[in-house]
Structure 1
Amino acid sequence: MEVFYYSEKACLTFAERINSFAAKVKGVNVYSMVIPKQCAYYIKDSKKYGSLWDQSMKADTTIKNALNGVTYVDAYHALERHTSEEIYARTDHHWTGLGAFYAAEEFAKTAGVPFASLNQYELKRREGYVGTMYNFTNRNPKLLNNPEDFITLVPNVNHMADYYDKDYKFVTEHDIFWYISDQMKSGWYSTFLGNDDYMVRIKSPVCKNGRKLMIIKDSYGNALSPLFLSSFEEIYIADLRYMNVNAIDFINNHGVTDVLFAICSYSAVNGNISSRINTITTLGK
């Protein structure tokens, strides 16, 4: 697994950028959900890296305390309660559909919206998964010889979506879930939304509460895509790194009521990602 290193300066910059974003969308609920990496929970007993186990918690606390006009979503403790379950991939740097579920549940609670219980999803397993860490470790045979299951949670309601390019020009209609071939095992995480750089619009077939959510995310946010069909009438999803539309104008033009920044801890301390938060508010200006 990857090891996370805390930077107070980077965490404060991230919080400041989200605070600035929120100030530009008056009347819209803005949330920050920093998603811990695996190391937040599973390296405490490591002889080599055990001393770093609390780095993620420090980052989470620093960002939480620096937010102003932004609501904190406690993904850290929501996931901590389920560390004995398959909430992270073992051979990949992402979480699983199950891990995303518990974080999404916490967000729905924080936002005060309905949320479908776990028994309203079909938990699907696909055998033979060897994820991104295989390539990250120069194809370590230990990973190849110890594959895992790729886990998705499939909602029991229609889950089609409209896909757009980074300029929000329509591309296609497709299921939230995409089939990635056995020859592309390390890319099975792209089962969620097919790619990082699509902008996506999902219209709920069941929710009629007047709430519209925009998820501004890195790749961790992809796994959240099937989980809010009972919570919001419409869900818009855009990757912070690729979107080429002005986020403030988009929110206003589409009647978005809630904005969730769903960013993993690595991205939160990445200066380029923090800069992009500013960039997407000024595009086209």
Structure 2
Amino acid sequence: MKKAADYIAVSAFFVIVIMFAAYTLVMGRHGSESEKADSSDIRHNVQTYVSSNFPLSSNWKSLRTTMFVMTGKKNFDNIYILKNRLVEITDFDKDRLDKNISQINDFSENTDTPVYVMLAPTAAGIYSAKLPAYTSNTDQREMIDNIYYDLDSRIDTIDTFFPMYSARNNYVYYRTDRKWTSFGAYFAYADGIKELGFEPVVLSNYDQEYTSNSYYGGLYSELCYNSIGADRVNIFRSKYKTTVDSVELYREDQVLTSKSVYFRSALKTADKTAIFLQGDNFTKATVKTTAEDAPKLLIIKGSYANTLVPFLTPHYSEITLVDPDKLKEEGKTLSDVADTSAYDQILFMYDCDQFADETNFDLLK
């Protein structure tokens, strides 16, 4: 049955190609011989050739995806089209994951500062029941449990799977992107902050602002499937006086300063979620608050951490975030940008996919 659907999909695809044959024959750019030799998949070759030559590539992607969906195809390179969202499933390298766990265990052994690990599920983990039965999808509940089990007993672990699953009918993940929303980050925060020794600020103490209702994320850009509507990017602002005093973002020799964790200039770009601390565009970020006597927190970050930070600011005098991938790009180690002994808590904050794929925990020294 699946083969039959694939044949139909291929046939429909080539019908589209023929529709644009005149354009591609007259105006097309011929790829190099090495480019032609690199791919053995005929359908991929045709798709790449036409996409690179057709003047409106996003329209081409949209038409291609729509035609395939009409034939019953729902999986595009492990991005699944569900009823109201796009979901990406990924696999992980067990050896890589084991090495990451070992490196964090070593890190905790060499610091006197309490270490916490907070791993968030992705949309594929929370909405796994909505994926086709034949899908080979990692059980993220089991994956996170196994990681936590293998971490040293000195390390405190923070569960986010249960609060995210309990809130799954809310707007906790973007429909067109890989990230969680501010709502998702809040639900994880409300449970997780208790493990860090604080009581959460209740949601009613925040005003919600919708900064954009026209965001299309990374998953959308892969398919340009217009039947999944645009996402909205919302931020939460305290109804009372802001706790943020200053923000400094460091990248190589540049320092960007602000009075807010929200960088509204990002709303004019394609990645509107970079409103949260400029996205993954810094090596180190330091957020100082008005709570001068509160503890200091060091976060070793993945992409999910940025959206979490606004909720953490009432509890800390200073929050420093360090991105191991950017340390690698700059040829630095953690000790070059932060003194771990100056902090009261150290938090590893990742989604489970990015944690499993991380290759730079060896720089945490």
TM range (shorter): 0.7 to 0.9
Query: Deviation of residue 136 (structure 1)?
Result: 2.2
Alignment of 1:40-51 (within 5 A): 40-48=125-133
Query: Deviation of residue 223 (structure 1)?
Result: 0.4
Alignment of 1:222-261 (within 5 A): 222-243=306-327, 244=330, 245-248=332-335, 250-252=337-339, 255-261=342-348
- Deviation string 1:68-117 (CA, Å, 9 cap, x unpaired) is 02111101112112111111111111000111112222321111124322
Q: Which one of 199, 203, 214 corresponds to residue 288 of structure 2? A: 203
Q: Does 2:234 correspond to 1:148?
A: no
Q: Is the 8 A contact 2:292 2:317 kept in 1?
A: yes
SS of the aligned residue for 2:89 comes to: coil
Q: Is the 8 A contact 2:296 2:316 kept in 1?
A: yes
Q: Is the 8 A contact 1:162 1:202 kept in 2?
A: yes
Alignment of 1:26-175 (within 5 A): 27-48=112-133, 52=137, 55-68=139-152, 69-125=154-210, 126-137=212-223, 139-143=224-228, 146-156=229-239, 157-167=242-252, 170-175=255-260
Query: Deviation of residue 277 (structure 1)?
Result: 1.1
Q: Does 2:350 correspond to 1:266?
A: no
Q: Is the 8 A contact 2:243 2:314 kept in 1?
A: no
Residue type of the alignment partner of 1:67 = L
**RMSD, aligned CA:** 2.3
Query: Deviation of residue 181 (structure 1)?
Result: 5.8
Moved more, 39-48 or 166-175: 166-175
Change over 3 Å in CA distance of 1:172–1:118 after alignment to 2: same
Give, in whole Å, the separation in 2 of the partners of 1:67 and 1:115: 26
Number of aligned residues: 271
Give, in whole Å, the separation in 2 of the partners of 1:246 and 1:197: 17
Alignment of 1:181-192 (within 5 A): 184=269, 186-192=270-276
Give, in whole Å, the separation in 2 of the partners of 1:253 and 1:225: 19
Change over 3 Å in CA distance of 1:183–1:49 after alignment to 2: farther
Give, in whole Å, the separation in 2 of the partners of 1:148 and 1:249: 38
Residue type of the alignment partner of 1:19 = N
What is the percentage of aligned positions where both structures have the same residue? 19
Residue type of the alignment partner of 2:300 = I
Moved more, 251-260 or 192-201: 251-260
Q: Is the 8 A contact 2:263 2:276 kept in 1?
A: yes
Change over 3 Å in CA distance of 1:77–1:133 after alignment to 2: same
Give, in whole Å, the separation in 2 of the partners of 1:113 and 1:168: 36
Higher relative helix content: 2
- Deviation string 1:170-202 (CA, Å, 9 cap, x unpaired) is 432342101146653x41110101231322211
Change over 3 Å in CA distance of 1:207–1:76 after alignment to 2: farther
Q: Is the 8 A contact 2:246 2:289 kept in 1?
A: no
Q: Is the 8 A contact 1:164 1:172 kept in 2?
A: yes
Give the alignment's TM-score, normalised by structure 1.
Answer: 0.85
Q: Which one of 80, 95, 106 corresponds to residue 9 of structure 1? A: 95
Moved more, 30-39 or 102-111: 102-111
Q: Is the 8 A contact 1:41 1:80 kept in 2?
A: yes
Query: Deviation of residue 23 (structure 1)?
Result: 1.3
Higher relative contact order (CA 8 A, sep 6+): 1
Q: Is the 8 A contact 1:24 1:248 kept in 2?
A: no
Query: Deviation of residue 48 (structure 1)?
Result: 4.9
Give, in whole Å, the separation in 2 of the partners of 1:168 and 1:66: 38
Give, in whole Å, the separation in 2 of the partners of 1:195 and 1:46: 29
* 5+ long unaligned stretches in structure 2: 1-86
Give, in whole Å, the separation in 2 of the partners of 1:242 and 1:265: 19
Give the alignment's TM-score, normalised by structure 2.
Answer: 0.68
Give, in whole Å, the separation in 1 of the partners of 2:200 and 2:267: 33
